[in-house]
């Protein structure tokens, strides 16, 4: 049975790249009627960020995804949190020592630091452990252990070997073993390093396929050695292209740019749009189709169509376009419901009072949604329907060439005479056009002045839609206040 996994480390926010890893592994498992495992790799205690596991699980579920085995749901290989499995890793580390594939190292952090500094001073770019402790006699090792000397356990990398592997995406990759450091497997705090933890758990949890970011490619030869030494079969593994900003030619750094999934959701990207965008970061069906639901993605996903390039562009414009598309596709009432749920979930303040269940809100959504690229755009696009706009008088004068008082006065007069029943978009459109024609005004000066006076904005949906929705009383009140 196919079994894939996503093995995040709770060292910060959940990034777009991690969501891609999750989606691809999820789709691969589902497509092959397999299982998808979520495992928390929290062995780096120094980089551990409190609360990040909970936030990550919450975001994954918010996006409508789930896992067959893992935290909260359990499964046959529980626990799925590495810090709860420490004894296990230690046993395998000791087994490797016993079999002469690993060794105790008693070097202090200070000695190691000096060793690295010396190597750098000699021009060595990739410093390596100098194997001092490999020559300790077994008596010395026993003595040190008996004296409770702190130790790590290191992998004894075989010399003069080419380690070869066939990546699912990149094809054949060769690594000279002499380039590899004698990697620490077990740290002095008793925690495994990523390399030991990941190999032990992928094996014990029956993982058959691994898709992960290219930043892990350099770790793969160490894992290959561990699988061989432990007598286990390595899962089929593929490395996904790194992400870059559009126009850049190097990998996107986590420190720059805003690529946390939570941030995008909080800014008002719909999960379905965000997921659709992420699916295409390194995978393409080979057709024109670019709108994908998760179900369609599972149906069409194949590893063969993952790009084997180094980098794929993270095109924020395309994401915004896709999000706008998904927003426009929602029915007005549904979009109101989504706005409400979004504001509640992320504690978004609109800055004005709006009842998103009201007919008025549905009406406003109807006319502004074509302009929304994020849910957050609602605030800017709709505010003047719910709160009095600030009308900048200097800017107002610009649209009318200084003639705003007369124009507004004339509109005021015209609209005062319209009965409440006749206050409908078509009628307003008709009488207003007649009126400007008779008075020799251009549509631009007349309607821009009117638009700015009632909304405080220079760009709005069609002006008569706006007037219709605002209602007669509000329109008259705003025209009057803009005149004074």
Active site members = 254
Residue 41 vs 245, nearer CB to ligand GLU: 41
Of 40, 97, 101, nearest in space to 226 by CA:
101
Residue 116 in tokens: 């690295």
Residue 329 in tokens: 């596709």
Task: Name the strand (E) or helix (H) holding 154.
Answer: strand 152-155
**Residue 194: helix, strand or coil by DSSP?**
helix
Helix-helix angle 359-368:332-346, to 10 degrees: 100
Phi, psi dihedral angles at 282 (to 5 degrees): 115, 5
d(CA 389, CA 381): 12
Nearest distance in Å: CB 82, ligand GLU: 9
Nearest distance in Å: CB 366, ligand GLU: 44
Residues in the chain: 484
Residue 55 in tokens: 């936030």
Nearest distance in Å: CB 197, ligand GLU: 8
Residue 9 vs 152, nearer CB to ligand GLU: 9
Nearest distance in Å: CB 194, ligand GLU: 6
Please say whether the dihedral angle defined by the alpha carbons of residues 352, 353, 356 and 360, taken in this order, is positive or negative: negative
Nearest distance in Å: CB 97, ligand GLU: 24
d(CA 265, CA 271): 7
Residue 151 vs 194, nearer CB to ligand GLU: 194
The 8 Å CB, 24+ separation contacts for 261-266 are 261/13, 261/14, 261/15, 261/16, 261/18, 261/19, 261/59, 261/63, 262/13, 262/14, 262/55, 262/59, 263/13, 264/16, 264/319, 265/59, 265/62, 265/63, 265/345, 265/346, 266/346, 266/348
Residue 47 vs 131, nearer CB to ligand GLU: 47
Annotated binding site for ATP: 254
Which DSSP string corresponds to 239-304?
A: EEPEEEETT--SPPPTTSS--BHHHHHHTT--HHHHHHHHHTSSB--SSS-----HHHHHHH--GG
Which DSSP string corresponds to 306-353?
A: B--SSEEEE-HHHHHHHHHHHHHHS-HHHHHHHHHHHHHHHT---SS-
Residue 301 in tokens: 């996903």
Residue 35 vs 373, nearer CB to ligand GLU: 35
d(CA 85, CA 286): 43
Residue 20 vs 451, nearer CB to ligand GLU: 20
Residue that the structure tokens 């499964």 belong to: 75
Nearest distance in Å: CB 380, ligand GLU: 37
Residue 197 vs 271, nearer CB to ligand GLU: 197
Residue 12 vs 257, nearer CB to ligand GLU: 12
d(CA 368, CA 460): 8
d(CA 238, CA 172): 11
**Residue 84: helix, strand or coil by DSSP?**
helix
Question: Site residues (CB under 6 A) for ligand GLU?
Answer: 7-9, 41, 194, 198, 212, 216
């Amino acid at each position: 049975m196919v079994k894939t996994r996503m093995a995040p480390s709770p060292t910060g926010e959940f990034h777009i790249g991690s969501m891609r890893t999750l989606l691809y592994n999820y789709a691969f498992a589902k497509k092959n009627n397999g299982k998808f495992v979520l495992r928390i790799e929290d062995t780096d205690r120094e980089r551990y960020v409190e609360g990040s596991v909970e936030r990550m699980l919450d975001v994954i579920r918010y996006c409508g995804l789930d896992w067959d085995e893992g935290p909260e749901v359990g499964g046959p290989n529980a626990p799925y949190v590495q810090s709860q499995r420490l004894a296990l890793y230690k046993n395998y580390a000791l087994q490797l020592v016993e079999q002469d594939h690993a060794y105790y190292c008693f070097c202090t952090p200070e000695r190691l630091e000096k060793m690295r500094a010396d190597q750098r001073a000699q021009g060595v770019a990739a410093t390596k452990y100098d194997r001092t402790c490999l020559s300790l006699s077994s008596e010395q090792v026993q003595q040190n252990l008996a004296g409770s000397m702190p130790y790590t356990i290191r992998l004894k990398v075989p010399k003069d070997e080419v380690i070869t592997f066939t990546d699912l995406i990149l094809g054949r990759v060769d690594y000279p073993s002499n380039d590899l450091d004698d990697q620490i497997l077990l740290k002095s705090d008793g925690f495994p390093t990523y390399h030991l933890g990941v190999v032990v758990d992928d094996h014990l949890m029956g993982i058959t396929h691994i898709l992960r970011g290219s930043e892990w490619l350099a770790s793969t030869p160490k894992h290959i050695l561990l699988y061989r030494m432990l007598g286990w079969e390595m899962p089929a593994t593929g490395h996904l292209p790194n992400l870059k900003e559009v126009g850049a030619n190097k990998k996107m750094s986590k420190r720059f740019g805003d690529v946390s999934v939570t941030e995008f959701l909080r800014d008002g990207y719909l999960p379905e749009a965000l997921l659709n965008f992420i699916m295409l970061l390194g995978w393409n069906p080979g057709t024109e189709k670019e709108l994908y639901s998760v179900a369609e993605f599972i149906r069409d996903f194949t590893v063969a169509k993952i790009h084997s390039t180094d980098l794929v562009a993270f095109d924020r414009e395309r994401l915004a376009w896709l999000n706008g598309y998904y927003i426009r596709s929602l029915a007005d009432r549904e979009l109101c419901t989504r706005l409400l749920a979004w504001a509640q979930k992320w504690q978004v303040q609109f800055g004005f009072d709006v009842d998103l269940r009201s007919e008025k809100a549905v009406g406003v959504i109807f006319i502004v949604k074509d302009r929304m690229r994020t849910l957050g755009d609602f605030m800017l696009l709709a505010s003047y329907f719910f709160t009095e706009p600030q009308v900048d008088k200097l800017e107002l004068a610009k649209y009318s060439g200084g003639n705003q008082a007369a124009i507004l006065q004339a509109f005021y007069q015209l609209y005062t005479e319209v009965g409440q029943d006749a206050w409908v978009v078509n009628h307003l459109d008709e009488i207003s056009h007649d009126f400007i024609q008779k008075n020799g005004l251009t549509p631009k000066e007349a309607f821009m002045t009117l638009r700015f006076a009632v909304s405080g904005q220079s760009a709005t949906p069609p002006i008569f839609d706006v007037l219709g929705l605002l209602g007669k009383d509000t329109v008259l009140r705003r025209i009057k206040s803009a005149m004074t």
